[in-house]
Amino acid sequence: MITIDIANQTLKHQDKTYSISSAENGVGEVEGSYCTPLGEFKIAEKIGSDLEIGSVLIAREPTGEIFSKELFNQNPGRDWILTRILWLEGLEEHNSNTKDRYIYIHGSPDKTPMGVPGSKGCIRMHNQDVIELFDHVQTGEDVVIMKP
In this structure, CATH architecture of domain 2-146 = Beta Barrel (2.40)
* Mean pLDDT of the 69-92 span: 95
The two beta strands, 123-126 and 104-108, are parallel
pLDDT > 80? residue 86? yes
Q: What is the pLDDT of residue 79?
A: 92
pLDDT > 80? residue 148? no
pTM of the predicted structure, to 2 decimals: 0.96
Q: Where are the domains of the chain?
A: 2-146
Single-letter code of the amino acid located at 59: A
pLDDT in tens, 95-139: 999 999 999 999 999 999 999 999 999 999 999 999 999 999 999
> Apex CA 112: angle with CA 33 and CA 21, to 5°?
45
Q: What is the pLDDT of residue 77?
A: 86
Backbone angles phi, psi at 112, to 5 degrees: -65, 125
Give the H or E element holding residue 84. strand 82-90
Q: What is the pLDDT of residue 76?
A: 86
- Please, is 21 exposed, middle or buried when counting C-beta atoms within 10 Å of its C-beta (0-12, 13-18, 19+)? buried
CA distances from 45 to 57, 60, 140 (A): 14, 10, 8
* Mean pLDDT of the 22-39 span: 97
